[in-house]
């Protein structure tokens, strides 16, 4: 009962619904969700979780209103400039997973600087998925394998995994999606095949450290099987 997942993934769902239920604008929900990420991440690392991967912006999220997308981009810029200082102070390594070439030069530069600044930190790792899609990640891996002219006979799961954004990381033990939705929506499509899933009803801004504790407790009760038993 004392086992703690080493890698958890969280789909940060429900910011807009949370705001609407309180007669607040959508942007207010995203702001609260951003603030909550810091709280939950700090608690996760204190619990002994080593890697936390969060789904913050999918390849489909570009279809939202220009105002909402612009606000989210501003939040991401804040994360890689101001908030990264706290991550670095706390010994947390920041990774951005996804096709970052679609972002403007300012955000791309901030991402590169933040990754470089925290690359040697060892207390924990925070992976933020931006402009990410599981199928897009797999297609990108296939293209790079072809580009490297790898002999097909040499391609196995271990080699393929090295071409993913999560190369050299263990697959997630536990994936949480808030707001009650029960699907992955392209989150860690390759990596999640043996993950345990947990779907709390709370929207992301309302998800507390106690809720994370409950998710871990539920994970500890499960008997994990990997097809061999």
3-state secondary structure of 12: coil
Using the Cα atoms of residue 216, residue 32, residue 87 and residue 186 in order, give the sign of their dihedral: positive
Q: Which of 2, 15, 61, 213 is catalytic?
A: 61
In this prediction, residues 67-72 reach a mean pLDDT of 97
In the set 13, 127, 131, 203, the catalytic residue is 13
Q: Where are the domains of the chain?
A: 7-133+170-221
> Does residue 61 have an active-site annotation?
yes
Give the pLDDT mean for 163-182: 97
- Is the entire prediction scored with pTM above 0.85? yes
Q: What is the pLDDT of residue 2?
A: 63
**Per residue in 126-162, pLDDT tens?**
999 999 999 999 999 999 999 999 999 999 999 999 9
User: Residue 93: its pLDDT value, please?
Assistant: 98
Residue-level pLDDT at 112: 98
Task: Kindly state the helix (H) or strand (E) to which residue 108 belongs, with its residue range.
Answer: helix 105-118
Contacting residues for 59 by C-beta, under 8 A, at least 6 apart: 98, 99, 131, 132, 133, 136, 186
**Residue 226 confidence (pLDDT) above 80:** no
> Over 50: is that where the pLDDT of 207 sits?
yes
Residue found by looking up tokens 């899933």 in the block: 197
What are the Cα distances from residue 138, in Å, to 10, 118, 162, 171?
20, 26, 11, 15
Round to whole Å and give the CA distance between 73 and 65.
12
Q: What is the pLDDT of residues 27-55, one digit of tens each?
A: 999 999 999 999 999 999 999 999 999 99
Full strand arrangement of the beta sheet holding 196-198: 92-97, 124-132, 51-58, 7-11, 174-177, 196-198
Kindly report the average pLDDT of the chain as a whole number. 96
Of the chain, the percentage scoring pLDDT greater than 90 comes to 95
Task: Give the pLDDT confidence score for residue 223 in this predicted structure.
Answer: 80
pLDDT above 50 (res 218): yes
Flag whether pLDDT at 1 surpasses 50.
no
Q: Measure the CA–CA gap between 64 and 184, rounded to whole angstroms.
A: 19
- Respond yes or no: is residue 13 known to be catalytic: yes
Q: Which CATH class is domain 7-133+170-221?
A: alpha beta
For residues 221-227, give the mean pLDDT: 78
Q: What is the torsional sign of CA 29, 31, 37, 39? A: negative
What would the two tokens of residue 59 be?
Answer: 């390849």
């Amino acid at each position: 009962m004392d086992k703690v997942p080493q890698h958890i993934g969280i789909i940060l769902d429900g910011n807009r619904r949370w705001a609407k239920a309180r007669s607040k604008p959508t942007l207010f929900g995203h702001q609260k969700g951003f603030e909550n990420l810091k709280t939950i991440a700090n608690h996760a690392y204190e619990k002994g979780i080593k890697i936390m991967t969060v789904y913050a912006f999918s390849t489909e999220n570009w279809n939202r209103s220009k105002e909402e997308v612009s606000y989210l981009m501003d939040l991401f810029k804040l994360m890689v400039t101001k908030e990264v200082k706290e991550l670095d102070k706390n010994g947390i390594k920041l990774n951005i997973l996804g096709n970052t070439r679609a972002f403007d030069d300012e955000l791309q530069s901030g991402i590169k600087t933040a990754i470089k600044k925290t690359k040697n930190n060892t207390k924990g790792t925070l992976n933020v998925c931006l402009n990410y899609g599981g199928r897009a990640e797999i297609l990108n891996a296939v293209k790079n394998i072809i580009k490297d002219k790898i002999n097909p006979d040499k391609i196995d799961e271990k080699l393929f995994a090295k071409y993913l954004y999560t190369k050299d990381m263990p697959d997630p033990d536990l994936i949480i999606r808030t707001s009650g939705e029960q699907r992955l929506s392209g989150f860690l499509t390759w990596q999640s095949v043996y993950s345990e899933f947990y779907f709390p009803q709370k929207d992301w801004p309302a998800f507390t450290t106690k809720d994370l504790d409950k998710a871990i407790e539920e994970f500890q009760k499960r008997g994990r099987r990997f097809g061999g038993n």
